[in-house]
Amino acid sequence: MADPFIRFRGVSKAFNGRPVLAGLDLEVARGETLVIIGRSGGGKSVLLKHLIGLLRPDAGSILVDGRDIVPLDEEAMAAVRVRFGMVFQGAALFDSLTVEDNVGFALRRQGRPEAEVRRIVEERLAEVGLPGAGPRKPAELSGGMRKRVGLARALAVNPEAVLYDEPTTGLDPVMADAINDLIVETRERLGVTSIVVTHDMTSAYKVGHRIAMLYEGRVRATGTPDEIRASTDPVVAQFIAGRAAGPIDVRSLA
């Protein structure tokens, strides 16, 4: 890949002596949507946390726009972090704050004028299909609406890349598909680079330009949705078949 926006090189991370990432290499092109699949507990969330400096690798480099972020101090890391919008698993909204205060949180922290914050918040809420939801509290919203608020919040500060951690998990198929549409629309409207972590293959095929499968701490396979669907790698084929077969057998996740 000529000039990737994100590049993991030989990234390793262990917790209590147990390797989770083991020399992982991965590149994400500018404007691309890369979907990361892999079993539960396989290190997908850990991978995303490395990109925003919530975790530091034991070895390897992580280049963002050509610069290694691993050696950065906390202040320099904070400057990198604002380039990413993160849509966390479970939306992770502040329940005591209104929707408007959740979406405007980072903007206010940047000291933007109040009128501007209000304008941006209303625009972002409209873009995710929730115009006028500002005064409501997260507890009053459905799971799908909370995910939309999470996306509006991630987009508030005009990130160059958006990271989605299990954006459709816990949603019914109709709501999940609405979120998939929103991920595609967001990329088309803003041209952002996107990384979507999921174990939902319907979502992976729909939103991904490319899919990468994480397995035993490395990228086992990458390809377009068609290539991954046709993969003859038994590990990939078995994973996909398991997801398509209906409810997840929890024993397969252990």
Q: Which amino acid is at 87?
A: V
* C-alpha distances out from residue 119 to 116, 122, 125, 188, Å: 5, 5, 10, 22
Task: Assess 53 for contact with ligand ADP (CB under 6 A).
Answer: no
Task: Assess 46 for contact with ligand ADP (CB under 6 A).
Answer: yes
Task: Assess 94 for contact with ligand ADP (CB under 6 A).
Answer: no
Query: Mask of contacts with Mg ion, 31-50, x by CB under 5 A?
Result: -------------xx-----
Q: At 140, list the tokens.
A: 């009053």
Task: Pick the closer one to ligand ADP by CB: 24 or 162.
Answer: 24
Q: Which amino acid is at 241?
A: A
Task: Return the one option of Mg ion, ligand ADP, none that residue 42 interacts with (CB less than 5 to 8 A, by type).
Answer: ligand ADP
Task: Return the one option of Mg ion, ligand ADP, none that residue 41 interacts with (CB less than 5 to 8 A, by type).
Answer: ligand ADP
Task: Assess 45 for contact with ligand ADP (CB under 6 A).
Answer: yes
Task: Assess 90 for contact with ligand ADP (CB under 6 A).
Answer: no
DSSP per-residue letters across 44-69: HHHHHHHHTTSS--SEEEEEETTEE-
Torsion of CA 88, 90, 93, 99, to 10 degrees: 110
Task: Assess 24 for contact with ligand ADP (CB under 6 A).
Answer: no
Task: Assess 20 for contact with ligand ADP (CB under 6 A).
Answer: yes
CA-based Rg of the chain, rounded to a whole angstrom? 18
Task: Pick the closer one to Mg ion by CB: 45 or 186.
Answer: 45
Task: Pick the closer one to ligand ADP by CB: 25 or 185.
Answer: 25
Task: Assess 252 for contact with ligand ADP (CB under 6 A).
Answer: no
Contact between 85 and 154 (Cβ < 8 Å): yes
Residue 37 host element (H or E): strand 33-37
Residue 24 host element (H or E): strand 18-28
Task: Pick the closer one to Mg ion by CB: 161 or 197.
Answer: 197
Catalog residues that contact ligand ADP under the rule CB under 6 A: 15, 20, 38, 40-46
Catalog residues that contact Mg ion under the rule CB under 5 A: 44-45
